[in-house]
Homo-oligomer: A and B are copies of this chain.
Amino acid sequence: MTTTSPQGRTELLRPDGSPVRVLVVDDEQSITELLSMALRYEGWQIRSAGDGQGAVQSAREFRPDAVVLDMMLPDMDGLAVLGRLRRDLPDVPVLFLTAKDAVEDRIAGLTAGGDDYVTKPFSLEEVVARLRGLIRRAGAADRRSESVLVVGDLTLDEDSHEVSRGGDDIHLTATEFELLRFLMRNPRRVLSKAQILDRVWSYDFGGQANVVELYISYLRRKIDAGREPMIHTRRGAGYLIKPAAS
């Protein structure tokens, strides 16, 4: 099921209308806090654990609809945690967090069952998007929930990564795509450059804040070029996207 909040954001809900529950497992507290905040912002109910023991325990009580699981935990191997989780909750989808430089064969098999993974350092938008995908496909949320975002005559398909405006296909790079997705998931709402940087770029990004300006300018060239603009600047505040007509 989906509902639309007063701010115009679309939320995933469980079939009975209650909020989606997600368990976050990582031993670095800064990571669990970062994730908890971002996922609560999605309207989800979050519980977190710092080790394998706690994860298994929490899963049993909390019965989450999805789990975010770091593969490097102090007390147990990630796969062992997975096995224990699956004993209690056979169908729960899992989003694995792995280190970028981890040996590739440790990653093997993680997507086999419909699970998914992201590498550290990740961007919050990426984690949220993949979690939404997992929850959608696992059927914890109503099956009807679409993978297509629409604002005015602009559409973005999260499965095929296709974007089009007024019927014309638009090719976007990975970063442009993530930025546009963030804007379109928050239509008619001003997003500050800091917010955008926090959500779309990975958490260890150390560069200049004006990459946001740069990528907004790229997007405008591709999306607004020669048309009624949809991306607007609120000087001193940030950017927002809205249908061209209004």
A residues within 8 Å of B by Cβ? 5-7, 29, 33-34, 36-38, 40-41, 83, 86, 90-91, 104-105, 107-115, 117, 124, 137, 143-144, 146-147, 159-162, 173-174, 188-190, 192, 194-195, 197-199, 203, 205-206, 209, 234-237, 240, 242
Contact = CB atoms under 8 A, between A and B. Distances in A.
- What is the count of identical protomers in the complex? 2
Contacts of A113: 34, 36-38, 40-41
B112 A124 contact: yes
Contacts of A86: 33, 37
A83 B203 CA distance: 17
18 contacts: A6-B143, A7-B147, A33-B86, A36-B113, A37-B86, A37-B113, A38-B113, A40-B91, A40-B114, A108-B198, A108-B203, A110-B198, A112-B199, A160-B188, A160-B240, A161-B234, A161-B237, A174-B237
Contact of A108 (B105, B107, B197): B197
